[in-house]
Amino acid sequence: MSKPEFWNNEKRYYDLKSFFINTFGCKVYKIQIDAGFTCPNRDGKIATGGCIYCNGKGSALREQGPLPSVADQITTGKALYRRMRDAKKFIAYFQTFTNTYGPIEHLKSLYDEALAQDDIVGMSVGTRPDCVPDEVLDLFEEYAQSHHVWLEYGLQSIHDKTLKVINRGHDSETYCDAVHRTADRDINICTHIIIGLPGEACEDTIKTAERVASLPVNGIKIHLLLALRGTGLGDMYEAGKITLPTKEEYVATVCDILEILPPDMVIQRLTADGYRDIYLAPDWGRNKLDVLNTIDRELKRRDSWQGKRF
């Protein structure tokens, strides 16, 4: 038994870069967009405090003043990538807050604007599983007939007890229902999970991954829990009320998870980064490249790869 050949890569997991090259024949770059959305877990519709790890600020762009249009953000993003690399194709990545939270006409105008730009081959839209009514999914189903479309669902944990602790404002059943309604419409699904959540042991995170692996999910982002200044979690960390995983614990859990995921599930992220101005802990998490290299070394040491125990 060895790693799947269809990955066409040198890695021990099916990374997003390889998936795009296999799908489009070239590298595809995601351009981050802040389209001015809010979040129902912050604006009072569900709650006001938000998830305990969320700093609630949105993108750096938002802090600089009025947001440029979606088209202008894409033009800027393309220019940046083209300066650095041989970039020809792009995905519009609606990243900030809950990007399906608004009247359907408003959503359609933003997505239409993105998909109308040159060299945009599709879009990836980050949202919550409780913000995708059928009319929104019907809209995505239409886009998916002519474009490459992903919906990214924040789940974080399959355990309702943890979802309460972190103040997610939805339960696991809501996530499973959203996944099934999305998969029925042939839209790609990416799920975000977090390692190191308060009250969770490694086994709990693995149970989350097992559940995700059992569902029609096409991609996953595995995040490291970051303690950020100005968040509820940051306060808990500074008060000594929580401990965060060590690098060794984190890497071992990531590898355990990769082993039980389907070989064709696209690994879109294996750690977390950014937030330099408000970053508190864990200190080792600041070096993303080191974390990724350590994961590679651990998989090699185990003579293992994504899906080996699926």
List residues binding ligand SF4 (CB under 6 A).
39, 41-42, 50-51, 54, 97-98, 128, 154
Choice between 117 and 205, CB closer to ligand SF4: 205
Smallest distance from the beta carbon of 42 to ligand SF4, in angstroms?
Answer: 5
Smallest distance from the beta carbon of 50 to ligand SF4, in angstroms?
Answer: 3
DSSP state string for 22-77: HHHSS-EEEEEE------TTTSSSS-SS--TT------HHHHTSSPPPHHHHHHHH
Q: Are 257 and 206 in contact (CB under 8 A)?
A: yes
Smallest distance from the beta carbon of 308 to ligand SF4, in angstroms?
Answer: 32
* Nearest residue to 258 via CA among 206, 217, 192, 294: 206
Choice between 226 and 299, CB closer to ligand SF4: 226
Choice between 149 and 228, CB closer to ligand SF4: 228
Smallest distance from the beta carbon of 29 to ligand SF4, in angstroms?
Answer: 23
| CA distances to 151, 230, 240 from 233, in Å | 27, 8, 11
Choice between 22 and 167, CB closer to ligand SF4: 167
Choice between 20 and 101, CB closer to ligand SF4: 101
Smallest distance from the beta carbon of 58 to ligand SF4, in angstroms?
Answer: 8
Smallest distance from the beta carbon of 302 to ligand SF4, in angstroms?
Answer: 32
Choice between 15 and 152, CB closer to ligand SF4: 152
Cα 125 from chain centre:
10
* Nearest residue to 181 via CA among 131, 223, 233, 117: 131
| Residues 254-272 as b or e (16 or more Cβ within 10 Å = b) | bbbbbbbbeeebbbbbbbb
Residue 297 corresponds to which amino acid?
Answer: R
